[in-house]
A = this chain, B = another copy of it.
């Protein structure tokens, strides 16, 4: 009933870290979806393209590992990208169990435009902050996320 709904409330909610992080994340997710929609991909697919452009060759599990998603989730992701002609699967000659996932020229082109769209979107998202505040936000998030990885061991 309430498609995208922003809460109306000035209760002490906005002093809660959980509320703030969740809603900031949701707002960014919506902005990301909007920015990428014209390119026919979503944030997960963009992440796959970016990983493939950064390292080669990678199999499906390897890409999944880089992104922290399950290998079963990876299947549908690669399916979608392959249907759009952005990547291709080919069996690894060294280990025929593995699917090497390869960017096509169309995939590189899409990645290029998607990265521009993402950067523009992030700038708009951070626009209400001055430069120093935006930098401080990113710095803080990096430290907290790095902590997540440390604790995971």
Majority-rule SS of A interface residues: helix
- Among A51, A136, A141, A146, which residue has the most Cβ atoms of chain B within 10 A? A141
User: Given contacts A4-B152, A28-B21, A57-B2, are A13 and B66 in contact (CB under 8 A)?
Assistant: yes
Number of identical monomers bound together in the oligomeric complex: 2
Q: Is the CB of A18 within 8 A of B6?
A: no
Shortest Cβ distance from residue A141 to the other chain B in the assembled complex, whole angstroms: 4
CA distance A148 to B27 in the complex (A): 7
- From B4, B126, B140, contact of A134 by CB (8 A): B140
Size class of the contact patch on chain A: 35 or more
- From B18, B137, B151, contact of A140 by CB (8 A): B137
Residues of A within 8 A of B (CB): 1-9, 11-29, 32, 43, 47, 50-51, 54-57, 65-68, 70-72, 94, 118, 122, 125-126, 128-129, 133-134, 136-149, 151-152
